[in-house]
Amino acid sequence: MTLDPRDVRVVGLQLGREPRAIRDVAHRCGCGLPDVVETNPRLEDGTPFPTLYYLTCPRAASLIGQLESSGLMKEMTARLATDPELQARYDEAARDYVRRRDAHEVLENVPAQGGMPTRVKCLHVLVGHSLAVGQGVNPFGDEALAMLEDWSRKGPCVDPDSDDMPHKKTRS
């Protein structure tokens, strides 16, 4: 598999650093740029990197961060205890995530990410999963997506022709 160097550069601009462990673009924003990448289960140095679908668009990440700060994750987690059907769907989402990651390399004793299947810990992971595999697989990723405005409506989040690599702190 060969990644388009332009996509790698765009992801670097989105993250503000050189991207690590990218396998492929898993989803593209409405503007055409990558917004989710699929990553290898390990970094180049062998360190486990269990986040299979990594949300890269800073606009999407900011919107999801607003949902997280609203207390939504606590509400979602509480629903798992009272809705057996929802818990079953979330269990299946966790199995789907691990199956897809294990198809590249098995990470022994490393669970699905985002809190799956016992709680909602990171909406970024859950939304990335939903964007990458489509609706109907991750119930909380789908719910969060439905709450978000279209982050592509303002156009590209970065200039894909830019050579600038801003320095900023980012999630992993």
In a domain, residue 159? The reply is no
Instruction: Calculate helix-pair angle for 139-147, 58-69, nearest 10 degrees.
Output: 100
Predicted pLDDT of residue 162: 79
Among 110, 112, 161, 168, which Cα is nearest to 141's? Answer: 112
> Between these two residues, 166 and 53, which has the higher pLDDT value?
53
What confidence tier does 165 reach under pLDDT thresholds 50, 70, 90?
Answer: low
- Domain annotation covers residue 163: no
Closest CA to 40 of 54, 58, 27, 29: 54
User: Residue 152: inside a domain, yes or no?
Assistant: no
- Does 134 map to a domain? yes
Q: Is 64 part of a structural domain of the chain?
A: yes
Residue 129, domain member (yes or no):
yes
171 domain-assigned = no
pLDDT bracket for residue 2 (50, 70, 90): confident
Domain presence at residue 85: yes
Span 113-132, mean pLDDT? 97
If one counts the domains in the chain, the total is 1
49-69 confidence digits (pLDDT tens): 999 999 999 999 999 999 999
Residue 97 lies in domain:
5-147
Contact 11, 34 (CB under 8 A): yes
pLDDT in tens, 16-46: 999 999 999 999 999 999 999 999 999 999 9
Strands 34-39 and 22-28: antiparallel
Average pLDDT over residues 110-129: 96
